[in-house]
A = this chain, B = another copy of it.
Amino acid sequence: MNQKNQFAVGVDLGGTNIKIGIVSENGKILVKNSIPTQADRGPKKVLDNICKGVSDLISSSYVKIAGIGIGCPGIVLPEEGVVKSPPNLPGWKTVPVSQIIFETLHLKTIVENDANVAAVGELVFGAGKKLNDFIMVTLGTGVGGGIVINKKVYHGMHGAAGEIGHITINYKGRKCNCGSIGCIETYAGNQYLKARVIEELQFHPDSLIVGLVQNNFEKISPLIIQKAASIGDKYSKSVIQNLGLHLGAAFASLGNAFDITNFIVGGGVAGFGKPLSDSIAHTASSRVMTPLRNKIKIIPAKLRNDAGIKGASALIFNKY
């Protein structure tokens, strides 16, 4: 084992599972685990579960731990160690997560918003290593965002910055879960995308998707759409193309506002790969202000499933 190397615990707190890993300073996972969040049992139980999971994992390893980094949903104030009103975690209002965990485990504890953690992961270990400024976009059930300016996460006035998913691209569009209308999430979020595809399939009865899901439209997923596109399905190709148009329009707005031209794209939907990246890049480049037009870069995220654990562990070794 590298003597110079330090280790930290990275925790990825999700609505369903808590993923925990012991990660070296250079991003290697020594050991990891996943336990149920039991979110329905309220914040105390969830924090107990984190402490127990972390403690068990530390006991099973033989390395000195520098601290615990935790990625949480919701508004997170890393300086105060506080998490506010995370969606999917019922009963949480303002919870001093860092303090509670420190008092139990006596290890330095840093919390950060989960989308920001994904950005930190890419910054430290992934596709953002050589970038000073980028916007990290995670395409999953929702569309998450983290904004990195000068190698630091941009948190905003109230720790709520980077809600990329809720940039409106059509103010007369569909209602979004957030309460707004026409957010990019209503185009690119998994459930919304699936609902659109199901609606549109009535006009594309010959699409290969229909056979792939054996007429059970509930089975439609990004993977299925990608599969259909890869075997030549025109409609599926147009879905990916249009998704790129929608994301590209949002990225152009962000480019014009932030003057940031590097976009790292991760998450399930990003599995559409190059056809999606190309379509995003085409739209964003043609819509952003002239001086930025040849600077737009759509970069695939490098970290995959362990992005949350790795990014969270990195919070211990530097301030982001």
Binding site for B on A (CB under 8 A): 75, 84-85, 132-133, 145, 147, 154-164, 166-172, 178-182, 245-246, 249-250, 252-254, 256-261, 286-292, 295
Contacts and interface: CB of A to CB of B under 8 A. Distances in A.
Contacts of A75: 291
Contacts of A254: 257
A292 to B, nearest CB: 6
A163 B261 CA distance: 14
B287 A156 contact: no
Contacts of A84: 291
Of A167, A250, A290, chain B has the most CB atoms within 10 Å of the CB of A167
Given A169-B171, A252-B180, A253-B167, A259 B160 contact: yes
A318 to B, nearest CB: 21
A182 to B, nearest CB: 8
Ranked nearest first, the 6 interchain pairs of A and B with the lowest CB-CB distance are A156-B259, A161-B259, A171-B249, A163-B256, A180-B287, A160-B259
Nearest to A165: B256
Contact of A289 (B155, B160, B257): B160
A290 B257 contact: no
Given A156-B260, A166-B252, A168-B253, 18 more contacts: A75-B291, A133-B157, A155-B259, A156-B259, A157-B259, A157-B260, A163-B289, A168-B287, A169-B170, A169-B171, A170-B171, A170-B172, A171-B246, A178-B289, A178-B290, A179-B286, A179-B287, A181-B249
Contact of A257 (B170, B257, B261): B257
B168 A291 contact: no
A132 to B, nearest CB: 8
Given A161-B258, A259-B160, A290 B133 contact: no
